[in-house]
Every structure is written in C-alpha cells, then in structure tokens.
Structure 1
Amino acid sequence: MTDSTSSTLPTASPSASPADSAPRPQRLLVLDVVRGAALCGILFANVGTILGVSVPWTDGRPPLSSTLQQLLVQQRFFPIFSLLFGVGFGMLWSSAVRRATHPRVVLLRRLLALGVLGFLHQILQPGEALLPYATVGIVVLLPLTWVPARPRALVAGLGGAVLTVAAAPLGGVSLIPGLFLLGFAAAVADLPRRVEESARPAVVLALAAALLAAPFIVLQLRSPESAGFDAVSSIAGLSSGLCLVGILGALLHTPARRVLGAFFVPLGRMALTNYVGASVLGVLFALPWLAPLGQEYVEITDAQMVALWGGCVLLLIVQSLASRAWLARIGQGPLEALWRRVTWGRAR
C-alpha cells in the first residue's frame, strides 16, 4: 500500500524550495479504485486472524465458510496489493528524481518507515504485509534504481515475470519480489495511465487472467479440502486477482465509474490508515473473547463467521464514509501524511 499518486500540491510560497514547488502528478482513479477494492478483500481474508477465531473442520471436511473464503478471498487480494506497491514505488522514484537531491535516500527513508510501522503492526496482526513489503523493497526495488534508465523497464519486467511464474505455485510472500518488479515496470511504461485512458488494456488483462484462472478454480471446487494448501490454490488466487484488476479497470470506462469511485476511492486514498485501523478496531472488539492461555483460536460456527463478514461490510462502509469526510477536510490520511513527511523530510 502506498500513496503513490497524489493530488497537485498547493501553490508554493516564494520561500519554498524547488522540491516543494515541483508539481506532483495528478491522481489516477484506477489506482485508487483497485487499491480500495483490494483493501476490502484483505479485510475479509484477515478477519479470522485479527479476531483470533476459526471455524473447525468436521469429519475431515472444511466448513462452508472456509470453502467460500478460499474460493473468493484468500490469495486473491494480497497479489493486487503487491503489484500496486511496485507501481507506487516506480512512480515515487520518478518523482524523487525530479524533486530530491538524493532520491535514493528518499526511497530508503520511506521503506524504513514502513518497516517500523510493519514491525509494530505485527503485534496486532501476525503475518501482516507491511514488514515483508519494506524488507523486499530494500532488497529488490531499491537496487533496481541503479540499473540504467533505458533498460530498467525491460529488466524489471523480465525479472518480475520470471520470479512471479516461479513463485506462482507457492503463493504468499514468495510472490512479493516478482510482483514488485512487474508493478515497477508497469509504472515506468506508464501502463496505469493507459488503463485510465482506454479500456482495452484492462479488457485484455481480464480475459487473459480469466482463461488462466478458470481451470484452477474448477480444480479448487473439486478438492475443497485442499484449498489454500496447494499450488492449485496459489495459481487460482494470483490469476483471479489479476482478473479482478482488469475487470475494475474496464468498468471504470462504463457508467459504473461514478459508483466505484464514490465507494472505493476514499478507501484507496487512505488504504494504509484503514488497513492498520481495521486491525486496531478488530483487536479491541475481540478483547472480551480472547482465546484462553495456550489456545491459539476461539472456535466459532459458520453462522457466526457469516455474521463477522457482515460486520466487515459495515466497517468498510463506515471507513469509506469517514475517509471521504477526512479527505474533504484534511486532504490526506493521518498515517499517509506521517509516512509522506518521513519520506520527504523538509522537501515535502
């Protein structure tokens, strides 16, 4: 998650530095919508972990709620966030080169700050994404900036494709390096803006990903007891996530654009705040029902899990409305503003 694209800066004062007065790129609706949609999916994927609850298996068969979660949510949205992080890093690099004397220092500060936040967030949500993102960003993305500008997109694209294909059967954090590189390559190639201007790239992505996803989803349906634990699930999740990105990009060229923007853009623009905020609220909500000492999860029923999903829907609606109100007054989420301040230092 990253505030990779931001609205234009206010008019600089006469004493402002060049970095302060440099224009910033206009936000791309497609990135905010996709990020907001991914945030929604991540909440449904993580709600059990955040609250410390699970639905037990019966006679070696997974509960219905688990099967639905594996087919509709798990491993679908984490790849989207990873791809978007790479896109955001690529766009930030372009901005830092224009605005900062030492652009790599800017990027390093950003990743280190994310790592600190991720380390703290691990206390609330073990297995969260921010700390791995910061670590892989330092190891993979930052060195990429030393590749000469002309072949950089090609190196990132080819390297990302190879790493993603190799990691596809494994899923999870193994996908981060490849998707980071693919996202970086997409940013350098200005692909997000092309999707903003034309539905064609999004339609092509949706169709190609759907063709790849279909047979693996069928295999998931045939073996629900293996869903989430095998290569089939990992590939189905990755391809389904990419298909969703294409579908959303295409829908933004239809009358649905206004509805999608109204709900998802506030969530996307404050994704970091909402992501961490959901963990804080979830832990506070779960305090009265914490598992006894030595027990990892509290067991609940399918019906109770469905009720928790309803709570997720309600929380996302509240977050979208609250984010819209906050952005109208402040212009940037609190964690996003803090992250940006640490990133740029005085050159904000």
Structure 2
Amino acid sequence: MGGVCKEAMDVTKRIDVLDYLRGFALMGIILVNIVPLLSAKLPAPHTMDASYWRFLYLFVEGRFYTIFTFLFGVGFYIFITRANAKGRNGYFLFLRRIAALFIIGLIHVRYHPGEALTVYAVCGILILPFYKANKIVNLMFGIIMLIVFALFSFKLFMVLPLMLLGIAAGQFHVFERLSNNRNKVVLFTTVMFALSALGLIYQYQFAPDIIGNGSIADYRVTQEFLSIGISIGPIVSAFYVGLLVLLLQSSFFQKVLSPLKSYGRMALTNYILQTALIYLAGTALNLFNNISYLESLYLCISIYIIQLIFSTVWLHLIRFGPLEWIWRVVTYLEIPPLRKTTKEYK
C-alpha cells in the first residue's frame, strides 16, 4: 500500500532535474539557431571565428536539440500519466495541447524557418500509440531506430526515436529514481564520455581548414565533418545529460544553477523569446549579414543574461511562464491563477 501511495506522489510532484535539463538544452540551441537567423558571415581561414565554427560543430550542433527532443518524449509520458491519475482523459488533453503547440509553431516558423515546434507537434501524434506499448519494446525500438538514422545522418528522422526513448525513460521512472541509482548514472556517464571522446576525435580528423571556399574537395570534407557530427550527436548529448544529472546530485550545484531551472520551466516562452531577441538585436544593431560567428556568441551571452534574470524574477512572482500559461488555458479550457500567494513566495 505504501508503494502505491509513493507512486501516486511521484505522479504529482514536479521533477526539477527536467527543468534544469530543458534550460541547459535551450542554452545550446540558440548558439546554433542564431547563425542562420542573422546570416552570419563564413569565417576566414586560421581565425578565431574559424576555431569557433569548429567548436560549434564539434560540441554544440546536433547535441542540444537531441536533449530537448528527448525531454519532449519524457514530458509526453508524464503529462498523460498525470492527467489520467487525476481522472482526466490524458489522450484528449494531449491532443489539444499538441494542436496548440502546432499553431504556435506555425506562427513561429514564419520568422524562424526550420523551428522545432511544428515538427514536435506532428511527431507527438505519431508516437501517441507508443504510450501504452511495453517499455522494453519502446526502449529497444527507439535505440535501433536512432542508430540506423544516426548512421545515415538523417537528422530530421532522429526526432521520432529520441521522443520514443523519452517515453521509455518515463516508463522506467528514470528521473524520479536518480538519487537511488547514482552508481548507474556514474557508469552511464563514464561510458558515454569514452564513446564521445572517441567520436569527437574521429570527427575532428575531418575538420576543414578552409570553410566554404567553393571547391569540391572543401565541400566534401566539410560535409563529412558535419555528417559525422550528426551521427555521434546522441552519444555526446547523453554524456552532457549524465554529467549535469551528476552535478545536480549536489545541493551546491542545484543552488548555483537554480536560474537554469527557471529558464527551463519557461522553455516554450524562452524558445520563442530567443528568436524575438535575435531579431530585435539584428534590426537595432544592423547585424543581418554583418555579424561574425564569434560576435554571435557574444550576442547569445547577452541574451542568456536577459532571459535568465527575466525567468528567475518572473517565476518568483508568477506561477507559469507567459506562453506556458496560455498553453495551459488552451489545454484544460480553464483559467488558472497567475500570481503566487504570499505562502508560495516563501
């Protein structure tokens, strides 16, 4: 009986580590998204810009969207499970939630071609039947699909297996039981670190000296470099997740990284706000086609500061992020209170 009660409590309790991970993923996503949005100039050979270009495609590109996509799958499972536990129709609510996400994505894609929300909405419908599938089946099917798509560098197709692995993680209650499985997390992170190191060393062998000079040889080397990056992306992402999860076992890091948790709790708002701030800066400072890769990093750091402060202050006073509140209203057709009570401030 006690086990059943504990499980019921787990169904209603917010899992903070997921918010930290969402915030972390968002911080990596903007580093990549800002480059095409502002049409950053290709770096000249043997410059700091060229070094930063290689850094992006070794450690960032294809590493953070995979985390964000995986977390969507985890959130998918948690949302339906909690709705069902409260006596609601989790499937119906999820479909309404997905429809709202799709509409937000349709608006966003006009300003940010290649944005993720519309893709997530469509894939959310496709993976709905897997909610009741056996967790072992979801795990194995997700791993096999991911390996196949990764080997062929099918980046867009990797969204489905990543979400499926997120569902499996939810079914195994991975994030609810982290404190009881520290040794397993250490082992997982160590293995992923070793595989990531090998993969990155291999990828680096194909790093081009000259980027975008138009020659066939340069194009082939660059494409090989980028393709390998896509293939090893999920492994590097898994290492990042494992490392952050281990750090968050310490109350010190929980406190130091607490703004990241607020950032992640407002993931939808901050994802859209990133685009808005990039366009605002680009227009105000005439950065379109005039910004270098390294300068895009400086702008991202400025946006981090703005968003981290905004998220922390907002959630100190308000229960939900602005878009999260709207999303919730559309999903439940109820208007939840926005402001926190005096008791909640403490």
TM-score (norm 1): 0.82
Residues 1:345 and 2:327 aligned together = no
- SS at 2:195's partner residue? helix
CA distance in 1, matches of 2:261, 2:228: 32
Residues 1:164 and 2:146 aligned together = yes
* Equivalent AA in structure 2 for residue 221 of structure 1: Y
Residues 1:212 and 2:195 aligned together = yes
How many percent identity over aligned positions?
Answer: 29
CA distance in 2, matches of 1:320, 1:167: 35
Partner residue in 2 for 1:241: 237
Partner residue in 2 for 1:336: 324
CA shift, 1:137, in A, is 0.7
CA contact (8 A) 1:209 1:240 kept: yes
CA contact (8 A) 2:97 2:330 kept: yes
Cα distance 1:246–1:264, how it changes in 2: closer, same or farther (>3 A)? same
CA distance in 2, matches of 1:205, 1:90: 22
**How does 1:35-46 map onto structure 2 within 5 Å?**
35-46=22-33
Q: In structure 1, which of residues 275, 280, 291 is the aligned counterpart of residue 276 of structure 2?
A: 280
Residues 1:131 and 2:118 aligned together = yes
CA contact (8 A) 2:23 2:261 kept: yes
Partner residue in 1 for 2:217: none
Q: In structure 2, which of residues 263, 266, 273 is the aligned counterpart of residue 270 of structure 1?
A: 266
CA distance in 1, matches of 2:189, 2:31: 22
Aligned CA RMSD, in angstroms, stands at: 2.4
**1:221-259, Cα deviation, whole Å (9 max, x unpaired):** 111134565442113322111100000011112354234
**How does 1:61-100 map onto structure 2 within 5 Å?**
63-100=50-87
**1:81-128, Cα deviation, whole Å (9 max, x unpaired):** 111000000101101212354321111111111111111111121111
Q: In structure 2, which of residues 122, 129, 136 is the aligned counterpart of residue 143 of structure 1?
A: 129
CA distance in 2, matches of 1:190, 1:177: 20
* Equivalent AA in structure 2 for residue 262 of structure 1: S
Cα distance 1:172–1:57, how it changes in 2: closer, same or farther (>3 A)? farther
CA distance in 1, matches of 2:335, 2:156: 33
Equivalenced residues, count? 312
**1:133-182, Cα deviation, whole Å (9 max, x unpaired):** 11111112x1223x4xxx53122212211111111121522211101111
Cα distance 1:224–1:138, how it changes in 2: closer, same or farther (>3 A)? same
CA contact (8 A) 1:270 1:332 kept: yes
CA contact (8 A) 2:10 2:176 kept: no
CA shift, 1:51, in A, is 2.0
CA shift, 1:288, in A, is 5.3
Cα distance 1:282–1:155, how it changes in 2: closer, same or farther (>3 A)? same
Partner residue in 2 for 1:153: 135
- SS at 2:280's partner residue? helix
**1:307-348, Cα deviation, whole Å (9 max, x unpaired):** 321221121122111111111111110111111221222397
CA distance in 2, matches of 1:76, 1:260: 23
Partner residue in 1 for 2:207: 224
**How does 1:322-333 map onto structure 2 within 5 Å?**
322-333=310-321
CA contact (8 A) 2:11 2:81 kept: no
Cα distance 1:52–1:266, how it changes in 2: closer, same or farther (>3 A)? same
- SS at 1:154's partner residue? helix
CA contact (8 A) 1:100 1:347 kept: no
Cα distance 1:259–1:205, how it changes in 2: closer, same or farther (>3 A)? same
**Structure 1: 4+ residue segments shifted above 6 A:** none
CA shift, 1:36, in A, is 0.8
**How does 1:171-182 map onto structure 2 within 5 Å?**
171-182=154-165
Q: In structure 2, which of residues 186, 196, 199 is the aligned counterpart of residue 203 of structure 1?
A: 186
